[in-house]
Amino acid sequence: MRAWEMHPLCCLAGEWPGSGGGLADGGRSPPPEAEGEAPAVAGVLYKWTNIGTGWRPRWFAIRGGVLAYSKIRRRVAAEPHPAAEAAGGVRLIGVARGAGGAAERPIGFVHLKISSFSESKSDDKRFYIITPTKTLQLRTGCAKDRATWIEALVTARSEYSFNGDLSGDQNDASFSTEKLRNRLHAEGVGEAIIKDCEQIVHSEFSQYQTQMRQRCEEYLSFIGSLPREVEVVNSADTTVTEKPQLELFNHDCSSSGKCSEYSNTESSDDVGKQEISELSDGDEFHFYDTRQSFSDFAASPDMRRRCLNNGNEDHRSIESLTTDKANEDLSYSKRRTKLPEPVEKEKGVSLWSMIKDNVGKDLTKVCLPVYFNEPLSSLQKCFEELEYSYLLDRAYECGLRGNGLMRILYVAAFAVSGYASTDSRPCKPFNPLLGETYEADYPEKRIHFFSEKVSHHPMVMACHCEGKGWKFRGDSNLKSKFWGQSIQLDPDGVLTLEFDDGETFQWSKVTTTINNLILGRVYCHHHGTMNISGNRQYSCKLTFKEQSFLDRNPRQVQGVVKDADGTKVATLTGKWDENVHCIIGDDASKVKSHGLHQSTGATLLWEKNKPSANPTRYNLSSFAITLNELTPELKEKLPPTDSRLRPDQRHLENGEYEKANAEKLRLETRQRMARKMQESGWKPRWFQRDSEDGSFRYVGGYWEAREQRKWDGCNDIFGNLSSSPKLQPSTLR
């Protein structure tokens, strides 16, 4: 099967089929559809490559539903050719290519069948070709050429069908069994047995070839079944959502950047930023698209909240867990489902200009703008990892029934689920101030959570959570390593889970690497080994696979559960941003395939909740949107140290960016005294360091003080009160 047939959803970077890389014409071989067929439409278009090189001329040609483009060795001046309906059946648009091999071999292909085309209203020469994997930004010499190109693209897409004739390749594949025959002769095997072996090999190969042909035909049939109607969608019906990525460059930034045009993801980030910048200026698009119908998540906000809090009760489970009917009758106040509308229009930040303005300054005194933050603190991020606390409720129920194996399986699933919230979160949380706290009272989840920043250098945060039959505690200290384009975070701390029946589990988090800090789309991946040790019969080892550029199935997690004798009794597999399945028993062969959930006996332990119906630039989940909510009733109960009362974070959530930057600078100036205060004997209010293992443990008393509204020792560290005294070490006891 040809490479172009194997990847119809991609803009391929490769050679024309049949070129072999060694043709006399330098790889400019016939098009994918039919060798020797001349292009139907061709011409020069200017393609946006990257920030460093900008617009570059490329030779584009349409052949049988595939658009190919190649580099031009020497620049050709843009001259219109109205009479260039050239000889040989080739229709030239715009400019004619230079004579004598002016274009190199094709470097990319776009399958028009699954592509859409859009015009830019702000620039009558620019248009876009949008595929499922990337967007090509193109520009013509004049407005007339743009209309001609779009008409040619739409026509080529409507006339072409993927359901081509595969019969020509059915008998091309052949092989010889001569080496097998010679080897068997050398071993003294008789002629009759040799012929039987050859017949077996031929039969197996024939069956494999037939299966591959059938799969190819099914795939091509699926692509060909896509609706063919071409409609114009009004811009009023089109909602363009900004990509949840950290834009480190302004639209008009001219900083240098390099990205190879032979890459499948060539300058996709830059193209996305350019496109988003245009849309933010009020640009309207006319889409010439292929209509597709998908079912939407039409549940009401109440239903979505119930699914969130109850933990997707539609999961297939080995055991049917009991439901607390009494809690079902309780009525809880509804939590918000979206952030407030921004008061101001957010302005982008140029990383290079920021670096230029701070050259030679003390970096410890440089305040990063709130553009790089999300409206949550690190203390709230700790609680976000308990979004799927229902897994611990299930683990508790399993233990009561004497099923210790299912208990540790649910604990392992909970340990993995904490990483799901890190997917596509381009912004960093606010660093809490020394003594800052955060409480979370979620009666619908039957949990009470509390956390406090207990040390500034090194930065340590401690948390304590109580649920139905279990207690969860831990402290975290991140050790970072900066590698230029990426940063590696190594957690230092132990998480402890204690059940009321005395069973305890402990584990440490794995390494997190954040990539593309300077250029490109920011993303993170988690890798390493997580050992969940218990004080009774079972233990679990989870392996987070390290991601590579060539890995087609990233973010994998695999694990095994062993009993006290070291015997493997269960296996787990999944992805930390999707789901976790398990199989009871030691059948390792079922874990090697990616389709474990389709195997007999596989059980779905955990699945990530659906994304929020009200997406934001920060890509917060429905649960994360509720973490910083502040109602008048709640404000009366909170201590002055709670993260919800932090002014810069509150201004950022409200979209008041100028005020947020000013408050952030003020608070960071106050916070620089924290190290001196800590050296002067400052102690955390609600946690105490354990003399045996050095961890921080909750000393109690917070919820009792909350009921009485007595916050002795909790000062206004944010300076929200006009009468608040200046921050001093003695006032932060």
Q: Show me where the domains of the chain are located.
A: 41-74+89-159, 177-212, 370-588+601-722
- Whether the predicted pLDDT of 385 surpasses 80: yes
729 vs 609, more confident: 609
Candidate from 148-162, 282-296, 600-614, 702-716 with smallest mean pLDDT: 282-296
Q: Find how far residue 201's CA is from the centre of its chain.
A: 44
pLDDT of res. 640? 93
Q: What is the pLDDT of residues 30-53, one digit of tens each?
A: 444 434 455 678 899 999 988 777
One fold for 41-74+89-159 and 370-588+601-722: no
Phi-psi region of 655 (alpha: psi -120 to 50; beta: other; left: phi over 0): left
pLDDT band at 4 (very low <50, low <70, confident <90, very high): very low
Candidate from 35-49, 494-508, 557-571 with smallest mean pLDDT: 35-49
Specify the pairing of strand 91-93 against strand 41-50.
Answer: parallel
Candidate from 83-92, 649-658, 690-699 with smallest mean pLDDT: 83-92
CA distance 679 to 349: 36
Alpha helices in 318-385 (DSSP H): 325-328, 351-357, 378-384
| 3 state DSSP class of 515 | strand
Out of 211-220, 229-238, 429-438, 476-485, the most confident range is 429-438
Over residues 303-314, mean pLDDT:
40
Candidate from 77-91, 395-409, 536-550, 556-570 with smallest mean pLDDT: 77-91
Q: What is the pLDDT of residues 319-337, one digit of tens each?
A: 444 344 334 334 467 899 9
Q: Find how far residue 68's CA is from the centre of its chain.
A: 30
| 3 state DSSP class of 188 | coil
pLDDT of res. 350? 64
pLDDT of res. 185? 86
CA distance 403 to 536: 12
pLDDT band at 352 (very low <50, low <70, confident <90, very high): low
pLDDT of res. 585? 75
Joined together, the tokens standing for residue 361 give: 């300054």
pLDDT of res. 332? 61
* Mean pLDDT score across all residues of the chain: 74
- Whether the predicted pLDDT of 419 surpasses 90: yes
pLDDT band at 221 (very low <50, low <70, confident <90, very high): low
597 vs 218, more confident: 218
Closest CA to 703 of 447, 500, 498: 447
| 3 state DSSP class of 440 | strand
pLDDT of res. 353? 63
CA distance 29 to 37: 10
pLDDT of res. 184? 87
CA distance 626 to 536: 37
- Whether the predicted pLDDT of 111 surpasses 60: yes
Instruction: Find the helix packing angle between 647-654 and 657-671, rounded to 10°.
Output: 160
pLDDT of res. 365? 58
- Whether the predicted pLDDT of 527 surpasses 50: yes
Joined together, the tokens standing for residue 580 give: 């976790």
**Distances 9 to 6, 130, 243, 452, 531 between C-alpha atoms, Å:** 9, 11, 20, 48, 40
- One-letter amino acid at 628 equals N
Joined together, the tokens standing for residue 733 give: 């006891």
CA distance 11 to 69: 10
Over residues 495-524, mean pLDDT:
90
- Whether the predicted pLDDT of 256 surpasses 70: no
pLDDT band at 458 (very low <50, low <70, confident <90, very high): confident
Q: Would you identify the CATH topology of the domain 41-74+89-159? A: PH-domain like (2.30.29)
- Whether the predicted pLDDT of 254 surpasses 90: no
Candidate from 13-27, 63-77, 96-110, 111-125 with smallest mean pLDDT: 13-27
Question: Where does 370-588+601-722 sit in CATH, by number?
Answer: 2.40.160.120
Q: What is the pLDDT of residues 579-590, one digit of tens each?
A: 999 998 755 445
pLDDT of res. 453? 95
CA distance 307 to 287: 36
Burial group, residue 252, by CB count within 10 angstroms (0-12, 13-18, 19+): exposed
Burial group, residue 315, by CB count within 10 angstroms (0-12, 13-18, 19+): middle
CA distance 488 to 411: 26
- Whether the predicted pLDDT of 226 surpasses 60: no
Out of 41-55, 199-213, 408-422, 518-532, the most confident range is 408-422
pLDDT band at 103 (very low <50, low <70, confident <90, very high): low
The secondary element (H helix, E strand) that includes residue 80 is: none
pLDDT of res. 321? 40
Percent of the chain topping pLDDT 90: 36
Closest CA to 159 of 87, 82, 234, 66: 66
309 vs 613, more confident: 613
Joined together, the tokens standing for residue 478 give: 């991140």
**pTM of the predicted model over 0.85:** no
pLDDT band at 95 (very low <50, low <70, confident <90, very high): low
Residue pointed to by tokens 């990530």: 608
- Whether the predicted pLDDT of 406 surpasses 90: yes
Over residues 688-697, mean pLDDT:
90
